[in-house]
Amino acid sequence: NLEERMSVSSKDRLVELNRNRFSPTDFYTVMEPSVVGDCETTYNIETDIPNEDQKYMYLTKIKNYKRCLDRPAYTRSYFNAMKCAQCENERTEPFKSASQIRYILNGDKRMFLIQ
């Protein structure tokens, strides 16, 4: 079983090496507006090996909700204007994670169609 896992692992590494060698990647981070404020958003664009008929790009968009400007806070207290130790202990932040969206784009960086 260990030998089988090692062979699969080495095959995966070879595929990944070939993919990285032939697929140029663009990676950048920007602040984008969202429902919780302006949040750090990272884009990763991988260009596939060009085919004679079709070109594909793979876009991954990751929004980090821990890195937002003016994030909203949620509290369970009915008296939001009053400060109390129990209220501060119950205070929570509803957005603590990130979202990830993957797109397949047909075309090039100037003209593409989202699949």
Residue 5 lies in a domain: no
Strand (E) or helix (H) holding 8 = helix 2-22
Residue 10 lies in a domain: no
Number of domains in the chain: 1
Q: Which domain holds residue 92?
A: 24-114
Residue 3 lies in a domain: no
Residue 15 lies in a domain: no
**What order of strands is seen across the sheet that includes strand 37-47?**
25-34, 37-47, 56-68, 98-107, 112-114
Residue 54 lies in a domain: yes
What does each of the 115 residues of the chain score in pLDDT, given as a tens digit? 445 444 444 445 444 444 444 456 788 999 998 888 889 999 999 887 666 677 888 999 999 988 888 776 665 555 555 566 666 666 655 555 788 899 998 887 788 888 8
Residue 65 lies in a domain: yes
Residue 18 lies in a domain: no
Residue 77 lies in a domain: yes
The pLDDT, as a whole number, for residue 113 is 84
